[in-house]
Amino acid sequence: MRGVWRWRMVVALVVLVPLAARGGAVEKPRNIILIGWDGAQRNHVHECLDRGELPALKLLSEEGALVDIDVITGATDTKAGWSQILTGYHPQVTGVYSNGRYHDVAEGYSVFERLKKQFGPDQFVCAAVIGKSGHCGEIKPPFRKPLADAEKEEPAAKGKKAARQPGAGKRKVGKVEEENGVKFLVFGGSPYYTMHKSCDVWDYGLVLNEKVGSRAIQLLDQYKDKPFFFFVHFAEVDHSGHKHGENSKEYNDALISSDAWTGKIVAKLKELGLYDKTLVYVTADHGFNEGQTNHRYAPYVFLGTNDPEVRRAGMRQDITPTILARFGLDLAGIQPPLDGEPLIQPATKPVQKAPEKGGRAKEPGKGKGGRAKKKAA
C-alpha cells in the first residue's frame, strides 16, 4: 500500500505543481466574456502591442495566451465570422457562408443555447451587447409571403432612410421564388434570429464603442450574482477600416479604443470580485486587407485571453469549443459534432493556416476532400 501512496504523491506533484506554477489560473471558470474587435487585423494588433498601445490585451495575454487564429472556411466577413465563432461550425452546417449568403442558424447550435441547456435557463445568464446591426446583431425572422403582398407593404418603408453602416453593403431582403404560378418573397432569417431568443439580453446596433462598453459594464452590475456568458462586440475597428483604411490613424485609434473598453470591463470584473472566476477572450471575425478599405480576403486574426490553458493556435471554429470545454461541457455528446476543437488541448485534426493568396477561403469537402460530410441545416 505504501508504494501505491508514494506513487500517488508523485503523480499529484507532477500534475499539480506545474498548474500552480502558472499562477492565477482559473481552474474552472464561473463566467466567460467573449469580446469581439470586429475587423481587427492580426499584424496591426501586433504592431500596436509592440508600441504599447493595447495594455489591456497585453495584460490578458501575459496571464494567459495570445495565439493566431486563421479563417479557413467561410468568407472573411462579419456574418460568416461571428456565426462561426458563436457556433463552432463550418458554413455547411450553419448555412452562413458570407454577408450575402446565409439563413437563420438552426436552433440549439449556438454557444448561448448550449450553455443555457447545460446550466438551466434561470440559473445562467447569457447576454450579447453588439455594436453592429446589419451582419451582426440583426434578428429578422425568416418569412415567405406572396410577392404581391410584400410589394404592397413596400411604400411604408420608403422615406425611412436607414443609417448606413460602413462596409455593410446593400441589404438583400429576400429572393423571389415561384410556386404554382404565384411568386413568393422568401427570406431565410438573420443568422442570429433563433440564438438571440435564448439570451437574457440581446442589444445591438449600438455602433459606438463607448455605448457597447458602458452597456456591458452596466449589465455586469445587473447580473453579477449569477454565472454568465457575455458576448461584447465592438464595431469601431471595422467601421474605421472601411472609412479610412487599415493603415489609417482612425483604424489604429479604434483598436486603442477597443482595448481601453476591454480594460474597463476587466476593471469592472475586478471591482466586483469576479475577475478570478472569469475568463476573458478577445478575438475578431476577420482581419483587413493590408492598407485597404476592405476585408475581401483577410483571414488572419488572433485570440488574446487570460486563460492560461489556451496552448495552441487555431481556427475560427475553435472558439466556441474552447468556451464550452472550459465551462465543463462534454463535447463528445454534441450533435452535430463540432467542427472546431478546444484550444486547451492538442488538436486531433490538422490545424490549418489560411493561404497567403487565397482569394477566397476554401470550403472543406470541396476539391480533393470529396463531399462535405455534413448537410447544411
> Which residues here bind Zn ion, judged by CB under 5 A?
167, 238
Q: How far is the CB of 168 from Zn ion (least distance, A)?
A: 8
* CB nearer Zn ion, residue 263 or residue 299: 299
The CA distance from 252 to 244, in Å, is 10
Tell me whether residue 167 or residue 227 sits nearer to Zn ion (CB atom): 167
User: Nearer to Zn ion by C-beta: 29 or 131?
Assistant: 131
- By beta-carbon proximity to Zn ion, the closer residue of 41 and 320 is 41
Smallest gap from residue 167 Cβ to Zn ion (A)? 3
Nearer to Zn ion, 104 or 238 (CB): 238
CB closer to Zn ion, 63 vs 285: 285
In Å, what is the CA distance from 39 to each residue of 43, 53, 206, 327?
12, 17, 16, 27
Nearest to 225 by CA among 109, 108, 125: 125
Which residue number is nearest to Zn ion in terms of Cβ? Answer: 167
* Minimal distance, residue 238 CB to Zn ion, in Å: 4
Residue 106 Cα distances to 96, 142, 254, angstroms: 11, 12, 33
Pairing of strands 300-305, 278-283: antiparallel
Q: Which residues pair with 283 in a beta bridge?
A: 36, 303
Q: Which three cell numbers stand for residue 291?
A: 492598407
Would you say 95 and 376 are in contact if contact means Cβ atoms under 8 Å apart?
A: yes
Cβ of residue 248: shortest distance to Zn ion, in angstroms?
14
Contact between residue 264 and residue 280 where contact means Cβ atoms under 8 Å apart: no
In the complex, minimum distance from the CB of residue 104 to Zn ion, in angstroms, rounded to a whole number: 21
The pairing of beta strand 182-187 with beta strand 175-179: antiparallel
Residue closer to Zn ion (CB basis): 208 or 334: 208
Please report the beta strands in 227-360, taking only residues with DSSP state E, as ranges in sequence order.
Answer: 228-234, 278-283, 300-305, 314-315
Least distance in angstroms from the C-beta of 224 to Zn ion: 33
Q: State the nearest-atom distance from the C-beta of 256 to Zn ion, in Å.
A: 19
**Other C-beta atoms within 10 Å of 197: how many?**
12
